[in-house]
Amino acid sequence: MLRLNNVQVIYSDVILVLKGLSLEVPDGQIVALLGANGAGKTTTLKAISGLLKTEDGAVTDGSIEFMGKRIDGRDPEVICRQGIVQVMEGRKVLESMTVEENLRIGGYSRRDPDGVRRDMTMIYEYFPRLIERREQLAGYLSGGEQQMLVIGRALMAKPRLLLLDEPSLGLAPLLVKEIFAIIQKINQERGTTFLLVEQNAQIALGIADYGYIMENGRVVLDGPADKLRGNDDVREFYLGLSEAGRRKSFREVKFYKRRKRWVF
């Protein structure tokens, strides 16, 4: 469905962020994109969705293809209409509008009112908390409810590919578990494809089919999610588990040096 081939991204004509990034997202799968802060994960999503233009960024080399057609350099609204929708980090709800108004705005470009009503019902079924608060201003929702709302709003656009940026950020563990279970359910029941950016590697790899690990603008490791979960380097550096199974302290993780078999 989606293919990035040796993509290079530069901000303000001088700051090189992505340095020949390549990855693929097959139709109907959940793909996790993992890495520490500053690895280039969010920049990757913005390169796909076209939102780099809003931050003086550009794809300067390589190509991005969606359904066999190049989309790099196209405007965000064109990419969205083709079926790619990005859920931004930080739960960007329209605070002064109600929950239902936020959801309706997600389907603003659609011309099938019956389908919009069906999808609204479907979203309330996935996120029952939202129907309880449908007339409440979005700015007064909890963090978890806001995350549910922005995912629901994105689904109202009927995306073929949903880009999720750090959906677990700032949420309690029980809420994170609930939201990731719903993401997996949407993928299984609706066939929606997900590219999921996360720092919580353990929960992301728990629902993903495939994973990529980024460092300094490049993919340094990739493979099926179950194999990444069993990889000693991933377990120790990204999941914080040593070979003995104990969780490493922050100091140990901070100064841990990965083995040189990770080829750049």
In a domain, 130, yes or no: yes
Q: Between 232 and 166, whose confidence is greater?
A: 166
Range of the domain at 157: 2-254
In a domain, 261, yes or no: no
Strand boundaries in 67-189, DSSP class E: 69-70, 84-87, 161-165
CATH number at residue 166: 3.40.50.300
In a domain, 243, yes or no: yes
Say which DSSP state 98 is in.
B
Q: What digits encode the pLDDT tens for the residues 40-82?
A: 999 999 999 999 988 999 999 999 999 999 999 899 999 999 9
Residue for token digits 């969205």?
80
Q: How many structural domains compose the chain? A: 1
Question: What distance in Å separates the CA atoms of residue 19 and residue 91, rounded to the nearest whole number?
Answer: 28
In a domain, 182, yes or no: yes
In a domain, 66, yes or no: yes
pLDDT at 251 over 50: no
Q: What's residue 46's pLDDT?
A: 97
In a domain, 197, yes or no: yes
In a domain, 122, yes or no: yes
Q: What digits encode the pLDDT tens for the residues 76-110?
A: 999 999 999 999 988 889 999 999 999 999 998 88
Q: Is 97 exposed, middle or buried (0-12, 13-18, 19+ CB in 10 A)?
A: middle
